[in-house]
Chain A
Amino acid sequence: MENDTLIVRVQETVAEALQVPIRQVAPNLAFGGIKEWDSMGHMGVMMLLEERFGISIDAEIIAALTSVPAICEYIQKTRKD
């Protein structure tokens, strides 16, 4: 998957999980950057990422995936592995 495409897909997933328009999810958006990305929102993002990208996110990783770039990096790394 091209990097740009991945970023857009992650933005779409984050927006859907947080129930906000995609324009609010900037490519560098991080946890706490908008009020919807709070603790509950974050876990919604994690669950939808698992579903949409077919990846497994364990508790060790949840605290690290706190921005769109960090999520993209993790998905790319997971797919290479």
Chain B
Amino acid sequence: MSAQLHITPRVTIPDFLVGEVQSKLAYVDESIVRAHVASTGDRITLDLREQAEDPKRSELEEKVQRVVTSMVQGAFKPKVQILENYLDRPVPSSADPNPELLARGEMFQEAAGIFTVGPLVTRLISFFERQFIALADSFGAAPYRFPTLIPAKSLERVGYFRAFPHSLSFVTHLREDLDAIDNFAQHAACDEHGLNTPVDSFAKIQALLSPAVCYHLYFALADKPLPGGKLAATAVGNCFRYESVNLASLERLWNFTMREVIFVGPKDFVLQNRETGRERMRGFFEEIGLAYRVESANDPFFIGEFKKQAAFQSAFQLKFEIRAALPFKQSTLAVGSYNYHQDFFGRSLNITLPDGSPAHTGCIAFGLERMAFAFLSQYGLDAANWPDAARKFVA
């Protein structure tokens, strides 16, 4: 029997943190199926799988208070900077595309956060991909193919475990042990909670599913001078970020695809290309009539790191998101971002410039499924209503 738990936070959550706190509450306890923070920041409602009695109830409250206090006390209010604002661009659709996507077989849910998309959406993604590859070509970006797996050692080296522990997806295999393999072959089965195999059948984790594309390039360049002193590269890849109960439709997938254009070199080279890339994309978004805004943002750091890292990103204008309008829910969705990492990866991975200083890095990233979803939210599934370029491409 489901139930609700209402909690009054010890410190009021400021408006600029309401969304961030709410998203982190999903990770507080497995019994939570939904968390809601009132816009006034003084009330939290948890939807639970079943009624919670003490001591479980007190434990939940304590954990929630810990999250709120950790994220709110001493938080720096972010500096919001809007670089482009075309949210008021008129678009023909305000309907929720999800029911039609499902009904037409253009979207099929295999499991939470795991979706297959059909021919129309695939062609639409190819349309966007063509544009993103053209952007990469305009910088002379070298093409790369990166693996889906990423070594645990590499992520540790760039502090990923500390910053984003909640969204990691681990990979393992059965231990090299005949009994464990035999036992698995004979008894492995799934129940409502997943695979029933004992945890000790699995080997220690050496790899994870990759959470981003550009990391692979930085790892490939590690511990040596950067050839030529600067590099533009591009790749598309599967990315994995576990988002618990926040997973929803094509908006928030566990497994999604990202195209990145990556820059490595001196500070000016990276920053200039990030800006040039933004200007070039503005032309494309105008051509297809996308309603969107580009604004400063921060990555979804976990609770312990959030306060400092998010404020740092904001203060130094390291991340700007392309947020496309979702008219059916009067909100926006991040479909891409313009990122500058300063010399973080250059220092962490010892990537050096000809003068011996650490290289700076940055990337322009597009979430392909989100891009398609936002477009369909604004234009609907009938290609006859689409802008010329998109309609001709999918025809």
Contacts of B78 in A (CB 8 A): 59
**Contact among B79, B343, B344 with A59 in the assembled complex (CB-CB below 8 Å):** B79
Of the residues A32, A57, A61, A62, contact of B312 by C-beta under 8 Å: A62
Shortest distance between the CB of B69 and any CB in chain A (Å)? 15
Number of interface residues of A (CB under 8 A): 18
User: Is B76 a contact partner of A58 (Cβ separation < 8 A)?
Assistant: yes
- In the bound complex, residues from chain A placing their C-beta under 8 Å from that of B74 are 47, 50
Q: How far is the CA of A53 from the CA of B86 in the complex (A)?
A: 43
At the interface, is chain A mostly helix, strand, loop or mixed?
helix
In the assembled complex, B315 has its CB within 8 A of some CB on chain A: yes
Kindly report which residue of chain A lies nearest to residue B76, judged by CB atoms.
Answer: A59
Task: Identify A44's interface contact among B308, B315, B316, CB under 8 A.
Answer: B308
For residue A60, which residues in chain B have a CB less than 8 angstroms away from its CB?
79, 315
Residue B246 interfacial (CB < 8 Å): no
CB-CB under 8 A from A43, the residues of chain B are 76, 307-309, 311-312
CA distance A57 to B76 in the complex (A): 8
**Is B314 interfacial (CB 8 A cutoff)?**
yes
With known contacts A57-B76, A60-B79, A38–B347 Cβ distance under 8 A:
yes
Q: Which residues of B contact A (CB under 8 A)?
A: 74, 76-79, 305, 307-309, 311-312, 314-317, 342-344, 347
A-B contacts, 8 of them at CB < 8 A, read A38-B347, A39-B308, A39-B344, A43-B308, A58-B76, A59-B76, A61-B315, A62-B76
When A and B form their complex, which 9 residue pairs have the shortest distance between CB atoms, in order from nearest? A43-B308, A62-B315, A59-B79, A63-B315, A39-B312, A59-B315, A63-B316, A59-B314, A59-B76
